Structure 1
Amino acid sequence: MSSAPADLLQFRADARTVTGLGAADVGIVGDGAHQKTGGYHEGKDVLVTIGRYHAPATANVGSGGEDYSARQARDRNGLTNSASASDVGSQWPHGGRAAWLRWNNLLYAEMRDHQDRLPALRAINVSLDGKTKKRFDQLRRDDGLIASTDTVDTHTHLELWRDTEGNRKITLDRIVTLMRAAVTGTTPTAGTEDDMTPEQDERLKNIDTWLRGFIQGDAQIPLQNQGKTSNWPNKTGAKIDQIATKVGIDPAGLGQIEAAAKAGAGEAFAEQRQALIDGIVAALPQDKDGTLGIADVRAVLVDVLLHGAAA
């Protein structure tokens, strides 16, 4: 029997949190009826059993004798025993059927106008008005919305390219973002770059804290990365002490100078903080594989602090 992959199980959990639907209302693996007809709800084991997939993957590409979900090269190359589809029911406890319809329209508009935001999503079977059944397929974009025989007046059907299994978080998170906007009746953010995860938000806060401490002269500034905390010594205060000793400034005078310097630096930092943060974030390499380390962040911090953010 075909199985539900980890990323679609996580999508189900996220979708349920937003919509209030039960587990049975966010389907992944096909039931008996689906097993007879194939499709993205089924994996390789079922397609072979019903005679709708013939190995090897490099043969029969585009053949009408293959299941439509295992006909394209990228689907054949990514074919496993995992399902690669999800059906989302229409009766949302959060927002009702009206929210479901709003989501359908947001999802279709996103696929039509911003394909890059949903790179793993091949097609949807959808109803934009709750009555008319339609399909939109990225493989045949020029056809636009075409008629569908799927029962999408009661659910929305999502098909994901099989070769994206395990690498479709951007797409699935974006779909959930559109769900959230539909439930709240708000306009979704422009794209995935604006959908900050808690980890990304925490990283920005840590950079902000480090910059503040760097300028104000705090001795140890913690910066967290990948769950680990690193204290980077700030030598500003020590340098001031060394200079003061050489020129013979008494401790009281040194304290006044340090206080004035920190106050002035704090005001300057308040004015420039956002520009510095924006510059640092823009200069950071893309952490696509989760390997961004302290050395990477430090190198960017030093470069931006010494030379300024790129124009």
Structure 2
Amino acid sequence: MDSLRRLVGDLGELERAWELAPFVSSGLDDLGDVFSLAAAERMIHTGLPLSAVRLFRDGERLPDEQYRRYRGSNPRSREQLADGGRITDLVGRGATLVLEELQTHHPEVSAFAAALARETGYEVDCTAFLTPPRGRGVAPHFDLIGVVLRQLHGSKRWRIGRPVRRWPSRVQAVDPQAVEPVLDVVLKEGQSLYFPRGFVHVGETTDEPSLHLTIGFKGVTWENVLRTALAEAAEQVEELREVLPPAFARLDREELLRQRIALLTAHLAGLDWAALPPAALQPRQPSAARAAGSLEAALRRRAAD
């Protein structure tokens, strides 16, 4: 659990709060070997795909056209990329920079996310948020996955509100006036904030800038498990594959439904957890990208072979 401890110092507290309540961890070690302000700057100037970047100002997303460039001059292969110079200018004018899916584009973050996936059994997604002083990026909202915010540089104030709906399965608009606050904290370097899915949150910087990693944990819900179990049951219990009777048939549909529910209940009651397809229960985490120096090592290995 070494990687998880770099996000949350007390794993017992995390276990008690998981899916239930937010809390803050302090005294964490430096995470500069995973991601940093210098790493963010390198990324935006090395041909990052436009789809991996978003910018916000005062809760509103800025149009892609404001920070888009094209690779090459051939109209048939004009791939859209993020323009590092324009992004830098927009951040200087108060915009929040969001770097999406870092586990896809950054080797060290990728390796860290893969380790977290092994330790938790969940799919892990990593996003970086860079906000200038006295700035607010994304409007109040909630996520559909549990999240740890790991402060890397500067500080940011977070206001956390109770869920609009406990353990939501779909996104819906949030009325900022209706948010019932449960936590108001300024997150500083060496600290992290955990909150479960559904908890409404909004962040704004203080008199200093902020860079933090948002690390999301996407687990398998009981709904997912039961849907999988139902599909397996239909393969084994033929009555569950039968179509409903036609409209002209003089049959008691309610009694038929009760019978099918009894069959399904009996099947599920005897179901062995190990009998469920492993793919339905395991995280779909991409393989970790190779760290720096791996390409040189691959060349040396090829020469030795």
Relative to the length of structure 1, the TM-score reads 0.25
Which protein has the larger Cα radius of gyration, Structure 1 or Structure 2? 1
Give the number of the structure with larger relative contact order, counting CA–CA contacts within 8 Å between residues 6 or more apart.
Answer: 2
Structure with greater proportional strand content: 2
